Amino acid sequence: MKDPTITPELIAKHGITPDEYARIQGILGRDPNFTELGIFSVMWSEHCSYKNSRPELKKFPTSGPRILVKAGEENAGVLDVGDGWAVAFKIESHNHPSAVEPFQGAATGVGGIIRDIFTMGARPIFLLDSLRFGPIEAGAPGAAANRHLLAGVVSGIAHYGNCIGLPTVGGETWFDETYAGNPLVNVFCLGVLRHDQIARGAARGSGNPVFYVGAETGRDGLAGAAFASRELTEESREDRPAVQVGDPFREKLLLEACLELLASGCVAGIQDMGAAGLTCSTCETASRGGSGIDVDLDLVPKRETGMTPYEILLSESQERMLVIVHRGQEDRVREIFEKWDLPHACIGQVTDDGLMRIRVGTRVVAEIPAADLTDQAPVYHREAAEWTPPQDLDISTVPMVDLTAALPRLLAHPTLTGKRWIWEQYDHMVRNGAVVGPGSDAAVFYARECGKFLAASVDGNGLISRLDPREGGRRCVAEAARNLACAGAVPLGATDNLNFGNPHKPEIFRQLRDSVEGMAEACRAFDTPVTGGNVSLYNESPAGPIDPTPVVAMVGVIEDEAHITRQGFRGPGDSVWLLGERAAGLDASQFLLILHGRKEGRPPQTDLGTEVSLHQAVRDAIRDGLVRSAHDCAEGGIAVALAECCLSGEGLVGVEIFLPDDERRDDESLFHEAPGRVLVTVDPADEEAFHDLATLCRLPVRKLGTTGGSELVIHLRTQTWRWPVEALFPAWDGALGKLMGTVAEPLAAH
């Protein structure tokens, strides 16, 4: 088959601008051929080059005494956790593929992030996920299609994670019309390794053989990275071939084989073939190694005949790795791959001429300076629109509603409700590490390899980010850190997933810039460097861009098993305390959104100094043995947080609460969403010690009531609200299952 002629139309179809084309001509000193054009197109897509976001990403703090591998250096960052052990972790999105084919889109998202972790030499041990969908309640527009996406994504994650044997131990799922047609699927993976096991994705040692191992290359996922860097349109479903098909069994074999191979000492460099497949892995390893690489496509294992060099290089077939092996170790390497029944081939070698040279037999089909391909990618400083701060909510425009009915309604809303329907589909117990599994503020995982208790939480709030991106950025980081503190953990580091619309629009770019600045500010305050992450732009459906949704996953460590703390009430007779300032207003609250359908107001601002003291106080109280349970007070305000404490423990526990008169309306007092608040239960015998500790930390602290009884009772001034916990439980625990009752919506309903 003859390659098409390079025309301006063909260049534009590859998403390459005239300026970028001129840059390519400059690098090559000639016109690129068709194959080379394809290579530049994927390597310079946003997904691979971060050309629109790189200047922003530089604002994140990325260094610290625990950092062993920095953000951007390798596939994932690596952090020291003590005693010679380290963790590698990262979050990554698979939004576009999941919008088009939810099951495979989500499944391959899981597969991709797992490969990023074991490529570092780490044994992956758990997953988290952060999901966003359009409304699924009966009668909501597009509900059937959104339920189809939710069912598909959850079963895709379950399919891949369960089969490979990695527990999904936590996460968060929100529902909002902004995500209709453009769901967000962000998956986090963490692995453990010893310091001396860190593997590098660099091609070093001229003459070292380059091995291909894993699934054969097919035409699936052609140029998926470029696909992910475009807006979703009505025609996106025709892009279904750009979505890959995952094989978790193959990946399990690849994982075990690679870890065995890395332990053998035969490996000089290793890189997974994810986005942009063979192209990205060859040029990145060469570029990192300051070397060249020479590959013969005739030797690549293929599952289809007649594939062109363009197709082979741009295929995103899953479950493949590129391994650079020390010369002389080839037989040992082949022996390991054969033990695991994996297709493999030596497809080329490392050179010292700095060129990525792709051959078909003796015919050279592409020849590009490897370092220029990765380092000379364009960088755009996009234009940001001016920001008009949101108006404060005029509370007089919010009609009063029956608050007794409001709480069960909020608890049954898909965003706030219990997510058991989701996490029961995940094997969250395999690897025997989920000490605190799904459904508490943070997951706590016992990493048996190193004897450490690791805590992790993933958080994002699109509503707040829409109204005030900078506060949204601060808020998600602060919430993740607070969740870790409530579990008894010291945060160590974070990974971010930036989900935004098209950055060419000044309004969107402003959201991106402000969100990053807010996140960076908060990460500095908590001393949690960002170890890497993912940028997903162009999250737009025909209805418009999504609300900006930065998501952060934070990892911490709990030094003593006795300090592991959960959110649920432990039993009757404990006193309930609120740490942190009570603020007011229903601005940017879920109450205002769910009950009044309004995305409005100026979100209460996070005071990072107070947050830091609050988290320290919670941890200190936990270490002093004063805390029975601790729960972050967030979406849905104090009433929802109290209900979650009643409902999510070992058994149902009632509570009687006396809210102080803050001269606000009842709905504000119960449901406002000020940051920086934690609900703590304390044994009455320890009350004095707890109060002293909080006062010493200069934190507002107030006793609210006592656990016990069969009701959640809230007194405020002369008012009393009562909710039998047995009646609240089914609303909270069963709502999602009820909505999803019959899951298999036909694709035609899409």
- What are the tokens at 161? 């994670």
Q: Which two tokens stand for residue 345?
A: 């081939």
3-state helix vs strand vs coil in the chain, percent to 5: 40, 25, 35
Applying CB under 8 A, which of residues 264, 329, 425, 710 lies at the interface with another protein? 425
Q: Which of 131, 271, 260, 249 is nearest to 187 (CA)?
A: 131
User: Which one among 23, 47, 66, 252 touches another protein, defined by CB under 8 A?
Assistant: 252
Give the Cα separation of 727 and 725 in Å (integer). 5
Q: Identify the residue among 448, 698, 717, 738 touching another protein (CB under 8 A).
A: 448
Q: Is 47 a catalytic residue?
A: yes
Which of helix, strand or coil describes residue 67? strand
Q: 428 vs 631, which CB is nearer to another protein?
A: 428
DSSP 217: B
733 is a site residue for another protein (CB under 8 A) = no
Q: How far apart are CA 92 and CA 157, in angstroms?
A: 13
**Catalytic residue from among 14, 94, 159, 413:** 94
d(CA 60, CA 81): 21
Residues 155-214 that bind another protein (CB under 8 A): 155, 158, 162-165
3-class SS of residue 301: coil
Among 68, 140, 430, 652, binds another protein (CB under 8 A): 430
Residue (212 or 426) nearer to another protein, CB? 426
Taking contact as CB under 8 A, which single stretch among the options 12-20, 418-426, 667-675, 724-732 is the one that binds another protein? Answer: 418-426
Q: Given the structure tokens 């050279």, which residue do they identify?
A: 364
How is residue 313 written in tokens?
Answer: 């290089």
Q: How many CB atoms lie within 10 A of CB 348?
A: 24
List the one residue from 47, 320, 431, 466 that touches another protein (CB under 8 A).
Answer: 431
Q: Does 743 bind another protein (CB under 8 A)?
A: yes
Write out the two tokens for 397: 């425009």
Q: How far is the CB of 561 from another protein (least distance, A)?
A: 7
Q: Does 432 bind another protein (CB under 8 A)?
A: yes
Give one DSSP letter per residue of 579-613, joined into a string.
ES------TT-HHHHHHH----S-PPPP-HHHHHH
User: Minimum distance between the CB of residue 248 and another protein, rounded to whole angstroms?
Assistant: 7
The nearest distance, CB 448 to another protein, in angstroms, is: 6
Helix (H) or strand (E) holding 209: strand 209-214
Judged by beta carbon, residue 354 or residue 571, the one nearer another protein is 571
Least distance in angstroms from the C-beta of 339 to another protein:
8
x/- map, 218-247, another protein, by CB under 8 A: -----------------------------x
Residue 352 as a binder of another protein (CB under 8 A): the answer is no
The Cα angle at residue 594 between residues 589 and 598, in degrees rounded to 5: 65
What backbone phi and psi angles, to 5 degrees, belong to 543? -80, -10
Instruction: Report if residue 746 touches another protein, rule: CB under 8 A.
Output: no
745 in contact with another protein (CB under 8 A): no
- The type of residue at 73 is E
Position 446 contacts another protein (CB under 8 A): yes
Q: Which two tokens stand for residue 218?
A: 């097919």
Interface residue with another protein among 429, 727, 747, 749 (CB under 8 A) is: 429
Nearest approach, Cβ of 742 to another protein (angstroms)? 10
**Residues labelled as active-site residues:** 47, 94
What is the contact surface with another protein in residues (CB under 8 A)?
A: 155, 158, 162-165, 247-250, 252-253, 340-341, 423-432, 434-435, 446, 448, 561, 743-744
